[in-house]
């Protein structure tokens, strides 16, 4: 069996952070690399993508959940853009009436940046993700989550294994029911755990969730492993150690 492997390149939400309090869990914003056979699929392009060294001979795809800065700000620094022999396919939904290319052109252009995406040697093609499509042997399913301006949830299935990436997701009841069905029996769920339950009271409507809500969905959906993502910029390594301790008694296998 060929490998189906996830690498966390950045799991910080909202803004990148650095310093001694963030040395274990890191401070780069949303980016995950999935290797599935010959496919190299990036989930979001936050500052985590800056640390990505593209693999040899793989086909590169970037699946963007939405276009908030913390999910796209690493794109101009993606090493694969400097290689003219590596085409890159980017999938993103239309947001605020803009096609993905139009939206990226607003960000990666003067005066914010001195180059446009087409200035880079790599040939980049933008696509609107249908509800279901394939990237080689990887099946991709999509679902819209609950987030200001929208955010796409992706499910990747390869050789009978599946992972679901649900970031920038707020646990509104209808959205939770839809995600529970969507993530049913998946092997790994990446879930937005930006806030603690106490913090959430101050940040209702910001489009993020809590570890407790993730655990509820994971249990209902019979998810095998749960990985919390999109952590608040103020969450220190010490806080993570405490959370790990607090969630150790839960059945589901939980990773922070
Ligand atoms: Zn975000
Ligand atoms: Zn967002």
Task: Report mean pLDDT in 10-residue bins for the chain, 256 residues.
Answer: 90 96 95 96 98 90 98 97 94 97 97 96 97 98 98 98 98 98 98 97 97 96 96 96 82 64
Q: What domains does the chain contain, in order, with CATH numbers?
A: 4-255 (3.60.15.10)
State pTM to two decimals. Answer: 0.96
Ligand 1 center to 70 CA (angstroms): 5
Spatial neighbors of 40 by CB under 8 A, at least 6 apart, are 33, 34, 54, 55, 58, 59, 60, 61
Place of tokens 């800056």: 50
In whole angstroms, give the CA distance from residue 7 to residue 77: 18
Residues with CB under 5 A from ligand 1 (ion): 13, 68, 70, 168
Q: Is 27 helix (H, G, I), strand (E, B) or coil?
A: coil
- The C-alpha atoms of residue 236 and residue 41 are separated, in whole angstroms, by 28
C-alpha distances in Å from residue 5, one per residue of 8, 46, 209? 10, 19, 25
CB 140 within 8 A of CB 63: yes
Could you check whether the bond before residue 220 is cis, i.e. omega within 30 degrees of 0?
A: no
CA torsion through residues 246, 25, 55, 165, sign: positive
Closest ligand to C-alpha of residue 206 is: 2
Distance 189 CA to ligand 2 centre (A): 18
φ/ψ (deg, to 5) at 97? 75, 5
Torsion of CA 68, 223, 32, 90, to 10 degrees: -60
Give residue-wise pLDDT tens across range 78-135. Answer: 999 999 988 999 999 999 999 999 999 999 999 999 999 999 999 999 999 999 999 9
């Amino acid at each position: 069996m060929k490998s189906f492997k996830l690498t966390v390149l950045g799991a910080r939400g909202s803004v990148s952070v650095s310093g001694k309090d963030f040395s274990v869990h890191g401070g780069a914003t949303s980016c995950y690399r999935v290797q599935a056979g010959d496919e190299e699929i990036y989930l979001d392009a936050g500052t985590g993508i800056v640390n990505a060294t593209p693999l040899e001979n793989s086909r590169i795809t970037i699946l963007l959940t939405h276009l908030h800065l913390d999910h796209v700000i690493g794109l101009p620094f993606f090493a694969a853009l400097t290689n003219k022999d590596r085409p890159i396919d980017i999938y993103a939904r239309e947001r605020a009436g803009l096609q993905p290319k139009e939206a990226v052109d607003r960000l990666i252009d003067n005066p914010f940046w001195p180059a446009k995406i087409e200035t880079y040697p790599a040939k980049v093609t933008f696509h609107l993700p249908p509800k279901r499509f394939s990237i080689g042997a990887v099946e991709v399913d999509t679902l819209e989550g609950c987030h200001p301006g929208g955010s796409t949830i992706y499910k990747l299935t390869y050789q009978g294994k599946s992972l679901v990436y649900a970031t920038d997701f707020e646990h509104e009841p209808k959205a939770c029911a839809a995600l529970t069905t969507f993530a049913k029996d998946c092997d790994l769920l990446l879930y937005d755990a930006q806030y603690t339950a106490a913090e959430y009271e101050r940040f209702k409507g910001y489009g993020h969730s809590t570890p407790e809500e993730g655990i509820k969905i994971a249990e209902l959906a019979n998810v095998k492993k749960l990985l919390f993502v999109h952590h608040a910029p103020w969450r220190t390594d010490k806080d993570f150690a405490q959370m790990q301790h607090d969630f150790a008694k839960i059945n589901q296998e939980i990773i922070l």
